[in-house]
Each structure stands twice: as structure tokens, then as C-alpha cells.
Chains A and B, each alone.
Chain A
Amino acid sequence: MKQFLLIKWLCFVSLVGVFGLTKASAQLEWEELEWSIEPKTEIIWQDQRSNQFDILKEPARFAKVEGRMGMELGMQYEKTATVSWLGYVTGNEWENKKYSRFREAYLGHEWTELGLEVSLGRRIIRQGTGYIARPTSLLEGQVRRQDPDDHWGALLGSDMLFLQWFKEDSTFSFAVTDSDKNRNPRERPDVVFRYETLWGDADFAVVAGLPDPAFGFAWANVFGEGLELHADILAQRGTTRAYHQVTQENSEPTLYTDYPYVSPWEDSGRFFCIVC
């Protein structure tokens, strides 16, 4: 509830910020204010497999048909104030739902002469080198596995204070967030440092997180005309459950269980690596 209030407040501040800027500045460039309305429809048909192995002992298959209809509204002013809202109604054989979320709502400022940018609010930050799996992308929310490029717009931002410092060939970023409150698919650190640079011709990144220590590397390069290699490696202290997709995608009650997640795994207290 508190989080919802915070987001509402940030959205309000962003809106006030945008309109405040538009009213206050005599040299306002209206073309910098961008609005977007994007209607969305989708019908999904998929064979699903229940993965509640501990209850059913064996996987059960069932088909799922689901339809969605909605729209995304976006507003952005000079990349410093952004609000993006997604709402839709969805239904399948068993239930109908209404969905409404602010995907992004943040205010920021950029010191162009320094290449420094700071923002506060809910923001989508995707890092890492892989197309689908990116263990070192520690600030990223949950992506639908069926839509890794997020055409539907299901990816939600994380509430954070975010700083980026751009140099000619490298970027340093720093984020403070409350990972428990973000809609992340696994446990994440609250404070994240990332340094990205070019190592020879390759993309290279070092990432570190606190308070539960996390440390990783990301690397990508191309060879010849068509070979592309990506590598993300993260070592993190935490629980094993976080790295197995055991819940249903929307974490809602499903046909086979009335609670979204059964956790036979406890905190391991050990370090382990995730590699993609």
C-alpha cells in the first residue's frame, strides 16, 4: 500500500514537473513534449505445464487461451520527465481481470557538460548483454518469457534513485532501490554498481550489488560476419528458489493450486553462479 502511495506520489510529481516546466519556461520547446497512445490487443493460445511437482508428483498439461485488450499512454519531456501507464482487461476460460500499472514515472536531470544523469522514480533499466537471459541486469523487472523483447509492454520499472555517468567509451551507473518492493522475478540487491566499457573491441561490464553481496561480469563481441557471442556471469549470495521459475507468470492462483508459490527451497546461505 505504501509502495502504491509512493508510486502515485512520484507520478503526481512527474506530472507536476512536466506541466511546471511547460508553464514556467518561456522558451519552452513544445516539440520536446512527446505524447503517445498505443492500443494493444493480443490473443494467446499456449500449452502449459504445471510445475508444482511437489504437489502433483508429475507435470500436468493443459491448454490456455487468453485475450487481452488495452492501451499504453506515455508522456515524456526532454527525456527528463517520463510517465508511462499501461491498462488492459484480460480474460481466459476461468477469470477476467483488469490491470492498471504505471510502468514508468520518474523525474531526472542531466548535466550535459559532465555527461551525468540523475533520476528518481520508477524506471525501466535493462542491462546485460544477452537477448533473453541477463543475470547481471540487476535492476530489471520481470519479463514475460513468451515476449522477451517486451512488445506487449509487460515489463514494469523499479522504484529507484539512479545515477549514470557517461564517458567517451564507458559508463558508470549506481542505483539505490528497495528490491523487495520491486516486481523482480528473483531476489536482488538494493544497491547496485555497474561499470561498462569497451575492452578492445568487446563490450565488457563489471557489476556489484549490496547488502547481500553479488558480483558479476558481462561480455559480448562479434566474430567474422555473423557470429555473435554474449556472456553474463553473476555470483550471488541468496536463495536457490529465486533462480527457478516456479511460479506462474502472473503469480496468480492457477487451476491446480490456490497459492502461487510452494517453496520447498529455503535460504541456502551459499554463493552460487548464474551463467548465460
Chain B
Amino acid sequence: MIKLRRAHKWFDMTGRIVLLNVLLTGAVAAAPNAQNLLEEVDKHRLGWDSVEVDVNITTTKSWGKKTVKRYLVRVTGKERSLVKFLNPEERGQYLLMRNEGMWMYFPNTRRAIRITPLQRLTGNTSNGDIANLPFSGNYTPQLLGSENVGGVATLVLELKAFSRAATYPTIKIWVRQDNHTPYRAEYYLASGKLMKNVDYVAYEDRAGYLVLKTMQFRVPHKPNEVSEMQFTRIEPKTFPAYWFQKNYLPRL
């Protein structure tokens, strides 16, 4: 009898543990893994691992003046990006971003010069924004929770930079819960100061997959100025590995 009671007790306890386990596993499965979510965000931002993108950036000043700049961006892997400046006044300039650093090529200087991380932040839409490297190869994500932003259910991710190719030390990004596309983001400096507000405003359907079409940048100290970055062409492409090294820039 005592044995039977013990057995019953044992089964009772085991059953509770199993039930608890099932419940916990279910809860973990419901909250997406932060790294997987970030990789999905990157897929919506660029579409493919190796791409060629035509980028137009239209900056509208507070008094209504518009300037348009055009770039050709090539991204391969998670940490290599090459930007060709297409505007006549910047023609012949290239920017190379890799995990090992950043280089800029100016036609007059005839050679690529290594530049500092600070210089990747120049401009309303910084060099780092144009280079558009995937977040997942350069930041460690942490899921902060969920939030309702203007009626849209989102998941909030905090990204901390671990690579030299990362443009901002910290990024907070709101991802739509329904389709896991990025909805909005805040870019922070090392001091914790908010540097940019980013809205991901339009996507286009590419073979059943949503790929980013337009995003808007706003700087807190210029509230009436907006820079709109449009991806007018996104094409999957492979490039020779040696294109993404500084000495080849004059040949591109």
C-alpha cells in the first residue's frame, strides 16, 4: 500500500514536471528567437545575401528645397558593402565597408584612404546608412518585448554593435508581429543620445516576399527635414571577392 502511494506520488510529481515543461516550451516557442527574427528583418531589408541595389536619396529641407542623390550599392555577405556615388559632383567616389574598416576612394587622390568610424556618420543619411549592411552580421539582438505602435502590434528588438562595420553602437527596432517586416527604428550614439528616427514606409512584393522599397530618416534636431531613401532596383548578383578590397576601387 505504501509502495502504491509512493508510486502514485511519484507519477503525480513527474506529471506536474512534464506539464510544466510542455507549458514552458510552448511559451518559448511563442516568443520568436531574437537572432532568427533579426535575420528575417534583414531578408526584408535586402531580399538576398548578395545584391546590387540602386538607391535614390531625396532630402527635403524645412523650407521645401529638395536634393536628390543617387548611389549604386553592392552588398555581399553580412559585412561587405561597396557604394558607388553616381551624382555628377561626386562621380568616381567609392565607399568600401568591411568588418576590418572603412575606405573611401576619391578620383583626385587616386587611392583608397582608410577612414574612421566617425566619418561613417557624416550626412543626414550617413555613409553607413547608404552602405546598408545586414544587421545580423554586425549586431547582437535582444528581444525587449512587444509594443503597440499606432495600432500596429510590434516586437521590440535592441541591437548592440559587436563589429567594426556596424554604423551605430545601439539600434532599437520595432518589427511587425504579423509579417516580421521592420516598422520603425531608432539609432543611438555611444553616449546613448538618439541620433536618428527611421520609418520603414513601403515594401514591394518580390516573388511572394516583401522587400523594402522606401525608408525615411529624420534627425531629432532638424524635425522638419526628412531624407527618403528609395531602393529603385534590387537585383540578386554575385561579385568577385576581390571587388571588396581597397586596391580594386579605382578599377570599378
B251 A117 Cβ-Cβ under 8 A: yes
A127 and B111 within 8 A (CB): yes
- How far does the Cβ of B107 sit from chain A's closest Cβ, in whole Å? 10
Do residues A167 and B242 form an inter-chain contact, with CB atoms below 8 A? yes
User: Would you call B115 an interface residue if the criterion is a C-beta within 8 Å of the partner chain's C-beta atoms?
Assistant: yes
Q: Which residues of B contact A169 (CB under 8 A)?
A: 245
Considering only CB atoms, which chain B residue lies closest to A80 in the complex? B251
Question: Is chain A's binding surface mostly helix, strand, loop or mixed?
Answer: loop
**Using Cβ atoms and an 8 Å threshold, which residues of chain A touch B118?**
225-226
- At the interface, yes or no: A126 with Cβ under 8 Å from chain B? yes
In the complex formed, the residue of B with least CB distance to A203 is: B114
Chain A residues with CB below 8 A from B245, complex form: 166-171
Nearest B residue to A140 by beta-carbon distance?
Answer: B110
Which residue from chain B places its CB closest to the CB of A147 in the assembled complex? B108
B48 within 8 A of A: no
Residues of B83-140 whose CB lies within 8 A of A: 100-101, 106, 108-111, 113-118
Pair B242/A115 contact, Cβ less than 8 Å? yes
Residue in B108, B164, B242 whose CB lies within 8 Å of A151: B108
Interface of B is mostly: mixed
Shortest beta-carbon distance from A193 to chain B in Å:
14
Q: If the complex has contacts A222-B101, A226-B118, A228-B116, are A115 and B240 also in contact, measured as CB distance less than 8 A? A: yes
Q: Does B148 contact A (CB under 8 A)?
A: no
Interface string of B209-252 (1 = CB under 8 A from A): 00000000000000000000000000000001110111110010
Contact between B114 and A225, CB atoms less than 8 A apart: no
Q: CB-CB contacts of A110-142 with B at 8 A, as 1s and 0s? A: 101001010000001111110100000000000
Residue in chain B with minimal CB distance to A134: B111
- Scan residues 190-245 of chain A and give those whose CB is less than 8 A from a CB of chain B: 196, 198, 200-201, 203, 220-222, 224-228, 230
| B106 near A129: Cβ-Cβ < 8 Å | no
Which residues from chain A contact B246 at a C-beta distance below 8 Å? 203
Give Cα A125–Cα B118 distance, bound, in whole angstroms: 28
Chain A interfacial positions (CB closer than 8 Å to B): 79, 110, 112, 115, 117, 124-129, 131, 149-151, 153, 155, 164, 166-171, 196, 198, 200-201, 203, 220-222, 224-228, 230
Q: What are 19 A-B residue pairs whose CB atoms fall within 8 Å in the complex?
A: A124-B110, A126-B109, A126-B110, A127-B111, A129-B114, A151-B108, A155-B110, A167-B241, A167-B245, A168-B241, A168-B242, A168-B244, A170-B245, A171-B248, A201-B101, A222-B101, A222-B117, A225-B116, A226-B118
